[in-house]
Amino acid sequence: MVSPVALRLPLSDSDVRALKAGDVVTLSGSIVTGRDRIHKYLFEKRPPKDEIPFELSGGVLYHCGPVMTAAGDVYRAVSAGPTTSMRVEMYEAQIIREYQFRGIMGKGGMGESTRRALKENGCVYFHTIGGAAVYLADRIREVSGVWKLEEFGQTEAMWHFEVEGFPAIVTMDCLGSDIHRQVEEESLRRFSELKAK
């Protein structure tokens, strides 16, 4: 079994450039969530960094709409699985550039525009486990804050999580390697061979 690379967040440029597609990792430190509405807001409104209550530079943006419970002002994640990343493809390249994320995390990979942005800005795509939302929520040690909760609602707000040993695989690195694209190309090749028989 491959031993995961233990990464401490925020990530530096050298951290990211040492990662290669196929690396199994665990993330520990601060991450933020963002689904469609947060992406659209960051893309269209371009709020300055000092308007956002969390440090984004060097961080990881997790494509996740968590299910949360609250006891007073203290929140806890009950379910925190990844959402399909391609749904925010049209926004991601600009958001990586403007807010200097070093990691994007979700499921299913992303498109050519994001692949170029990863390469140009020293960022990687982490694929995490679909169908394991409760297990992933257990990796969240603390909910440090939330932004745009009243405006966007629970699943679309930006949550700030402290995670420990959060599992993922690098599937798109900053050198241009893209496992999702490789699998698609290989699948099409094999399908064409089967059709020809």
Q: What is the largest CA-CA distance in the chain?
A: 64
Which residues, other chains included, contact 21 with Cβ-Cβ below 8 Å and sequence gap of 6+?
Answer: 170, 171, 172, 173, 175, 177, 178, 179
The one catalytic residue in 39, 63, 127, 180 is: 39
Reported as type and span, the H/E element at residue 64 is none
183 DSSP 8-state letter = H
Alpha helices in 18-122 (DSSP H): 36-45, 89-99, 112-121
Between helix 36-45 and helix 89-99 the angle, nearest 10°, is 60
How many angstroms separate the CA atoms of 106 and 64, rounded?
7
Question: CA 165, CA 150: separation in Å to the nearest integer?
Answer: 30
Residues 6+ apart with CB under 8 A from 193: none
Is 39 an annotated catalytic residue?
Answer: yes
- Please state, in angstroms and rounded to a whole number, the distance separating the CA atoms of residues 134 and 168: 15
- Give me the active site residues, please: 39
